[in-house]
Amino acid sequence: MEAQVLQTERKRLLRIALLLDAAAYGISIPFLGITVSFAMGLLLGTVVLWCYLLLLAKSILVMAQQAKQTGTANPKRHMRYYVLRLLIFAVAFAAALLLWWIHPVGLVIPMLYPRLIYTGSALLGQTADLIKKR
């Protein structure tokens, strides 16, 4: 059940991330012009975000299962998953710095999407609740 919830949430975040990619690219046009490198950075950043979320979901499931079995979670395992997630981002960022056709800023922007999505959902959810009360 938990795996299904995490998978559904990951798919929802990916759909919204692609919409935010289009919005970010549209906003960047007046500043950077129509550039392929920024679009490639956004797409690579979204792929890195998807991998990040996949590893995060896996670590959550492994830690929850271990906590159910033993009563405690192994912080070393959590740290390994965390380092792996950061390593994936670091490799992608290094590639963006080395390759001219990937804009580094475009790569970083999608990593902010979960914060924007969850904050926006919370604000819109509260706004919807206020509207319903009236």
Question: What per-residue confidence (pLDDT) applies to 1?
Answer: 57
CA 20 from chain centre, in angstroms, equals 11
Residues 6+ apart with CB under 8 A from 119: none
Question: What per-residue confidence (pLDDT) applies to 2?
Answer: 72
Overall domain count for the chain: 1
Question: What per-residue confidence (pLDDT) applies to 50?
Answer: 94
d(CA 58, CA 26): 34
Question: What per-residue confidence (pLDDT) applies to 41?
Answer: 96
| Between 45 and 76, the higher pLDDT residue | 45
Question: What per-residue confidence (pLDDT) applies to 122?
Answer: 83
Question: What per-residue confidence (pLDDT) applies to 129?
Answer: 53
Query: Domain range for residue 15?
Result: 2-133
- Using alpha carbons only, what angle is made at residue 26 by residues 21 and 27, rounded to the nearest 5 degrees? 100
Q: What is the pTM of this model?
A: 0.83
| Between 120 and 129, the higher pLDDT residue | 120
Q: What is the pLDDT of residues 85-119, one digit of tens each?
A: 999 999 999 999 999 999 999 999 999 999 998 88
The count of other CB atoms within 10 Å of the CB of residue 35 is 15
Rounded to an integer, the average pLDDT of 1-28 is 89
Q: What is the pLDDT of residues 23-54, one digit of tens each?
A: 999 999 999 898 999 999 999 999 999 999 99
The count of other CB atoms within 10 Å of the CB of residue 45 is 29
Q: Is 74 helix (H, G, I), strand (E, B) or coil?
A: coil
Mean pLDDT score of the chain, rounded to an integer?
Answer: 88
Task: Please determine, for residue 130, whether its predicted confidence score (pLDDT) is greater than 80.
Answer: no
The count of other CB atoms within 10 Å of the CB of residue 14 is 15
